[in-house]
């Protein structure tokens, strides 16, 4: 793997106000809600798994999927299908409820 050297002059820094300057737009609000929901779901899954003293591998085995799927789900960086979410919930003794 080729290493890339990054220096300070390669980076651009932003003030927080500049990053969130468009926070009052509908598009920003929608994206923020979606991202917040994904992160909250990921945290809840991890908390539930840890409370039950299960490893990602154990949950994956119960859900009949690779451990990497559980890791991606808990990262909150990726979307998840309803089928995958349902299988993980079942493996954790929970159920998915859509309201």
Q: What pLDDT digit, counting tens, does each position of 2-31 carry?
A: 888 888 888 888 888 887 787 888 888 888
> What's the CA gap between 99 and 94, in Å, rounded?
16
Q: What pLDDT digit, counting tens, does each position of 63-87 carry?
A: 999 999 999 999 988 889 999 999 9
Give backbone dihedrals phi and psi of 93, rounded to 5 degrees, phi first.
Answer: 75, 25
Determine the pLDDT at residue 73: 95
Both tokens of 37, joined, read 């929901």
Taking a C-beta distance cutoff of 8 angstroms, is the pair 38, 24 a contact? no
Domains in the chain, please, with CATH?
A: 26-91 (1.10.260.40)
């Amino acid at each position: 793997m080729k290493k890339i050297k990054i220096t300070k002059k390669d980076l651009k820094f932003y003030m927080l106000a500049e990053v969130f300057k468009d926070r009052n737009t509908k598009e920003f609000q929608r994206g923020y809600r979606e991202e917040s929901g994904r992160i909250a779901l990921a945290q809840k899954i991890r908390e539930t798994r840890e409370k039950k003293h299960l490893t990602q591998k154990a949950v994956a085995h119960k859900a009949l999927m690779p451990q990497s799927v559980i890791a991606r789900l808990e990262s909150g960086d990726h979307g998840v299908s309803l089928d995958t979410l349902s299988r993980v919930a079942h493996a954790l003794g929970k159920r998915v409820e859509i309201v």
